Structure 1
């Protein structure tokens, strides 16, 4: 939490991580291809990063057509937190975008319907100023491992392995 707090001028308090999903362009798989027919035909991961651009948790393997909230609710980290097997520090929160459901440990911005109050806009500004860490971490990952820009394999296990190997060598 301390490093998040001191990392930027306009930071959100009590943050231990930032959550989001990202998609990787893949060849259409031979089996279960229909699951990968989203608007871009992608393979996705969901990750939580810290303020030093390191991944704290990664959940891999869902088709890009799955909604972020569904992937989150099926992830081991979500199940661990909600069951009490994974404990967060007192008052700790994870920041996410509005695709994710609010909870006592997961905070998302107000949906901007064009009628946000000044306080709600400021809340969203501070949240996004901190949540940008996950976007930057994904950007660093893609820059370091160009293969992730298009994974040219057909077997889903191989796709997952390429991503996992890249993540393991990310440090």
Structure 2
């Protein structure tokens, strides 16, 4: 710390005095993308940028939001996520999306690969098979739990089957009567 109690910037590429100015941080990152210092397809994390600019996550998140809203960068949340120059897809982002995972599991329930009344493979097993983190599988399966296709029994996820049109109309009827379907949720997928 210097005499004014502000952090001393040790990265010579970062101009002094911008650590609390998200617009200046965004401008510095935009310049790095323009001049090739930040190459296409290279992923940077919020933590990395926080350390580099000796600032808080709040200021970095604000700067990244400015860049994302202007179409300068793309972001992806979660493990393996981060920030990359717009229009470039890093190899580690090529895995299936949550929607892809949801569609795959829904199809497997429908075609009997995951039989009704049987346990779903563990989140770790599905994550390894699909090449994603266990937490990504968990989040991907929440809509199936919410619609009743999956439930948790003894810490494992049970396949209940896909809803019929009658089941879906009952769910809509609950919402029409003002019943909070969020309160009807069971425990999270295991």
TM-score (norm 1): 0.23
Greater RCO, CA 8 A, separation 6+: 1
TM-score (norm 2): 0.22
Q: Which has the higher helix share?
A: 2
Larger radius of gyration: 2
Q: Which has the higher strand share?
A: 1
